[in-house]
């Protein structure tokens, strides 16, 4: 993990009480290494987590920088990274690696029912940050349709809400609910589940 990655993760903590001082939040973030919804603290738009109404943009691959549309993804293809962009301001939320998602397209009918509504015409998005110690989950088990972490081999089931199906990760990947708006894959709600990791001592 790079120094800047550590900074991203260190400054985060799951905190609901917005009356906590920034100093306190920083200390807590060092311990937990978990994402904080900090918009209430005047967080710059580029660092804010994906917001409802944001559009997804490809971060890599042949469609890099293009808006995500379902037809640009193949069924059960290797997940690719994407970021959210506020269509009203054009701000790309690339100020934190905790905002990165991995997207692919699935057969919605095969998905666990409770997660089906998070898909936009089959397109699904999971946080790219492993819940173990925060590496990017960039590997792909094509045979078993699992996202995999290169650091300690945790595996996550894309058809079951990012459930851990192997390795030391303690909890599922956070899922970003999506919807289709005028053909564009759009954020429907904030992340379901915690983004980031809990420091292992």
With a CB cutoff of 8 Å and minimum separation 6, the contacts of 158 are 79, 104, 106, 124, 126, 145, 146, 147
* Distance in Å, CB of 200 to ligand FES, minimum: 9
* Distance in Å, CB of 131 to ligand FES, minimum: 8
Give the number of residues in contact with ligand FES, rule: CB under 6 A: 12
Question: Binding to ligand FES by residue 36, rule CB under 6 A?
Answer: no
* Distance in Å, CB of 154 to ligand FES, minimum: 4
CA 1 vs CA 97, 137, 155, 158: distances in Å: 11, 12, 19, 24
CA 157 vs CA 74, 103, 149: distances in Å: 18, 13, 12
Q: Distance between CA 79 and CA 68 in Å, rounded?
A: 13
155 vs 186, beta carbon nearer ligand FES? 155
The separation between the first and the last C-alpha atoms of the chain, rounded to the nearest angstrom, is: 17
* Distance in Å, CB of 169 to ligand FES, minimum: 5
39 vs 198, beta carbon nearer ligand FES? 198
Give the per-residue contact string, 116-155, with ligand FES (x = CB under 6 A; - = no).
Answer: --------------x-xxxx-------------x-xx-x-
83 vs 137, beta carbon nearer ligand FES? 137
Task: Single out the residue of 144, 128, 130, 38 nearest to residue 82, CA to CA.
Answer: 128
* Distance in Å, CB of 151 to ligand FES, minimum: 4
| Interface with ligand FES in residues 166-195 (CB under 6 A) | 167-169
Angle between helices 3-10 and 22-32 (to 10 degrees): 120
Interaction site with ligand FES (CB under 6 A): 130, 132-135, 149, 151-152, 154, 167-169
């Amino acid at each position: 993990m790079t120094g800047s990655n550590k900074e991203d993760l260190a400054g985060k903590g799951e905190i609901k009480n917005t009356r906590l001082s920034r100093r306190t939040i920083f200390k807590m973030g060092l311990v937990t290494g978990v994402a904080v919804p900090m918009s209430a603290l005047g967080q710059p738009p580029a660092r804010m987590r994906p917001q409802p109404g944001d559009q997804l943009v490809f971060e890599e691959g042949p469609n890099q920088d293009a808006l995500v549309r379902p037809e640009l993804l193949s069924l059960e293809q290797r997940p690719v990274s994407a970021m959210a962009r506020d269509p009203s301001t054009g701000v790309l939320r690339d100020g934190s690696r905790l905002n990165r998602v991995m997207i692919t397209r699935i057969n919605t009918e095969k998905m666990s029912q409770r997660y089906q509504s998070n898909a936009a015409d089959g397109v699904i998005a999971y946080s790219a940050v492993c819940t173990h110690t925060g590496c990017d989950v960039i590997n792909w088990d094509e045979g078993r349709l699992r996202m995999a972490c290169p650091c300690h081999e945790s595996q996550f089931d894309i058809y079951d809400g990012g459930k851990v199906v192997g390795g030391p990760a303690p909890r599922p990947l956070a899922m970003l609910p999506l919807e289709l708006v005028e053909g564009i894959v759009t954020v429907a709600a904030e992340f379901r589940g915690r983004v980031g990791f809990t420091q292992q001592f």
